[in-house]
Amino acid sequence: MATKLNIAPINTWLNLEKKPFIISGPCSAETYSQLYSTCKQLKSIGIQVMRAGVWKPRTRPGAFEGNGEEALKWIKDIKEELGVKFTVEVANPLHVELSIKYGIDILWIGARTTVNPFSVQEIAESIRGLDIPILVKNPINPDLSLWIGALERLNKVGIEKIGAIHRGFSSNDKSKYRYLPLWKIAIDLKSNLPELPIICDPSHICGNREMIFDVSQKALDLDYDGLIIESHIDPDNAWSDAKQQITPNDVHNIIQDLKLKKKNENNQNYKILLEELRDSIDKVDRDLIDILVKRFDLVEKIGEFKEDQGLTVFQIKRWNEIFKSRKKWGKNKKLDINFIEELYKLIHIASIKIQTELEKKEKNKV
C-alpha cells in the first residue's frame, strides 16, 4: 500500500534541539490553578509544548467532560505568561474554530475521531487554508488504512505540518496494557510514510504510571520522533485518568533515564561486523524463502489429492494437530509462542488460498 503525502519536515515546525522531544501536561484542564502549576513545573524542566484536555470525550455521560472554552481562556493566559506552546484535542469544526481563536499552536485528532472518516473530513474542511500543525492519533481499532486515510484527508486540504500519535489499540484480550501497543502497525505506517513524524503516547498505552518508562524507551528504540506524556501536579487526585498521570518531577526523571540510540553505526569495525551479520541474515532469509516454496509445493500436491478424493479444503483435525505441535516445537526451541501462533496462522491462510485456487482451476476445466 504505497502512499505519498506532502509532509513538512518536523524540524521546520517544532524545536527539536532538546532530544527526546516531549509534549506533556494534564489529561484534563481542571482548574486554572491546576493547569498553571503543572505547566510552570514542566517549563522549569525544559518542556516547551504542553498538552491539556479541553473537551473530554467520555464513554458514558456524567463524568467530567472538560471545561471547554473556559479552559481555552486559561491556556491563552498561561501561554503568554510562561512563553510555551499548547496542543489540544479537537473532535469537530467548532473545536477547531475556538482553538484557533485562542491561539492554540498544535491540534490533535483523538482515536475516537480518527475512526470516523466523516468527522475527520469535517475537521479537514474546517482547517483548509490554515497553516497549523495537526497530529493524528491512531484509530481506536487496529486499522492502518483508517489511520493513513485521516492523514490523507488533512493533506488534501493543504495541511503539510502533520504527524501521527501512536496511543495503542482496543482489544478484548487480557493484557497488562490499557491499549495494546501493536508496534507493527506503527512500524507499517512509518514504512509507508518514512517522512511522517511519529510520537508515542505511553500514558494511554500503559494506563498506569509504572510502565511509562519502559514503553517510552521502546518507542525511542524504534526511532520515534518524540513522546506525549500526561502530567499532573497531583496525579492521584486528577479528575480523569489518574492512574496514568505522573508529576512533572517524574517526567523529568524519565527523561533523564531514557537512552537515545544512534540511527547509524559510526565505528568502522562495528560497521563491518554489522554488515556481515546482515549478510548472514540475508542468506538465512533466502533459505527461509526456499523452505516456504517447498512447503507450498507440498500443499499444492495435497490440494490435488483432496480434489481427486472430493475432500474439503479445510480439515479441522489436521489444523488443530499442526497448531498444537508447532507451538510445542517452537517452545522446545525457546521461540516466542505468540510468534509461532501468528506465523502458522499466516501459513495456514496461504495454504488454504493455494488449495482453493487449485479447486477453482479444476472446476473451470470441466
Res 308: pLDDT: 85
pLDDT category at 264 given cuts 50, 70, 90 is low
Cα(262)–Cα(282) distance, integer angstroms: 23
pTM of the complete model:
0.78
C-alpha cell at 354: 493455494
The Cα–Cα gap between 18 and 49 comes to 12
How confident is the model over 24-44, as a mean pLDDT?
98
- Quick check: 3 and 193 in contact, CB under 8 A? yes
Strand partners, 275: none
> How confident is residue 278, by pLDDT bands cut at 50, 70 and 90?
confident
CATH 1.20.59.10 fits 268-365, yes or no: yes
Of the listed ranges 184-188, 264-268, 341-345, the one predicted with least confidence: 264-268
Which CATH code for domain 10-257?
Answer: 3.20.20.70
**Residue 330 pLDDT > 70, yes or no?**
yes
Pick the closest to residue 133 from 6, 8, 3 (CA basis): 8
Q: Which whole number is the average pLDDT over 192-199? A: 95
Q: Is the pLDDT of residue 266 over 70?
A: no
Q: How far apart are the first and last CA of the chain?
A: 37
Q: What size, in residues, is the chain?
A: 366
Question: Domain extents for the chain?
Answer: 10-257, 268-365
Same fold, 10-257 and 268-365: no
Average pLDDT over residues 259-271: 72
